[in-house]
């Protein structure tokens, strides 16, 4: 049984149907992400509806302009729910720059502090911002397993910098793309006890369903590729992925 460690269930056209399909395809658990305050509430409501769905609450860098102390307090209050297992997704995105750089950094640093206060891991989105990201993380008060770099799209040299800081590395459908050899190299070399898989639904559908709306059921295609590049059987990979997920997201029973 596989765990989709990063999906946006609130962004799916019919999340109930997608959850049902995922279960039929061997997905045992789903961690659903938030991107702003309204989606935090919606995501927690979905997690409350299913005993195998969990929530992460946070502000995406695209929505960093919505950050304020009052909003963060509301997110903290929502995160008291037993089904909230992480802060996120949060981070830095310098590709689209939907929020100014300084605002993204302020929002991200505040959420690192929130995760520390709540004793939860945080889920990191980073795009074209690795230098600032690594600098911020190195200067932050981190524990031995602070969180996960989700939807990893770099090479192993970049992955190692995050690994050295204690982070897990999560692979999405990108690992299946024809031109993603550097990502596959990272998936081959990341320590076995620090690797996770995800869909980032409804985005980044993997081969062979690339171009379609992504769903949690498709996490198996991601896992298939990871197993292939690491030259392990699927059962061995599934067992390790479950251990890794429970180790990082320790509130998952």
Q: What are the tens digits of pLDDT across the range 41-96?
A: 999 999 999 999 999 999 999 999 999 999 999 999 999 999 999 999 999 999 99
Confidence band, pLDDT 50/70/90 cuts, at residue 118: very high
The size of the chain, in residues, is 253
Q: Look at residue 129 in the predicted model and tell me its pLDDT.
A: 98
Q: Look at residue 61 in the predicted model and tell me its pLDDT.
A: 98
103, 63 contact by CB (below 8 A): no
53, 249 contact by CB (below 8 A): no
Q: Look at residue 220 in the predicted model and tell me its pLDDT.
A: 98
Average pLDDT over residues 20-34: 98
Cα distance between residue 88 and residue 253, in whole Å:
20
Q: Domain 2-248 belongs to what topology?
A: TIM Barrel (3.20.20)
Cα distance between residue 42 and residue 155, in whole Å:
34
Q: What are the structural domain ranges in the chain? A: 2-248
């Amino acid at each position: 049984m596989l765990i989709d460690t990063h999906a946006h269930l609130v962004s799916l056209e019919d999340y109930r149907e997608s959850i049902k399909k995922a279960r039929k395809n061997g997905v045992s658990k789903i961690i659903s992400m938030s991107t702003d305050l309204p989606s935090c509430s919606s995501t927690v409501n979905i997690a409350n509806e299913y005993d195998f769905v969990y929530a992460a609450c946070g502000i995406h860098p695209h929505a960093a302009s919505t950050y304020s102390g009052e909003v963060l307090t509301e997110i903290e209050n929502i995160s008291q729910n037993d089904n909230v297992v992480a802060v996120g997704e949060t981070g830095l995105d310098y590709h689209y720059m939907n929020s100014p750089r300084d605002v993204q950094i302020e929002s991200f640093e505040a959420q690192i502090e929130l995760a520390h206060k709540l004793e939860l891991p945080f889920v990191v989105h980073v795009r074209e911002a690795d230098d600032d990201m690594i600098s911020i993380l190195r200067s932050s008060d981190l524990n031995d397993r602070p969180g996960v770099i989700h939807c990893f799209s770099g090479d192993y040299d970049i992955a190692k910098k995050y690994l050295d800081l204690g982070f897990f590395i999560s692979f999405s459908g990108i690992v299946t793309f024809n031109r993603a050899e550097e990502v596959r190299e990272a998936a081959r070399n990341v320590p076995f006890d620090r690797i996770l898989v995800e869909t980032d639904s409804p985005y980044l559908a993997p081969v062979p369903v690339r171009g379609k709306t992504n769903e949690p059921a498709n996490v198996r295609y991601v896992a298939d590729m990871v197993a292939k590049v690491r030259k392990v059987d699927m059962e061995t990979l599934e067992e390790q992925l479950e251990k890794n997920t429970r180790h990082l997201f320790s509130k998952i029973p």
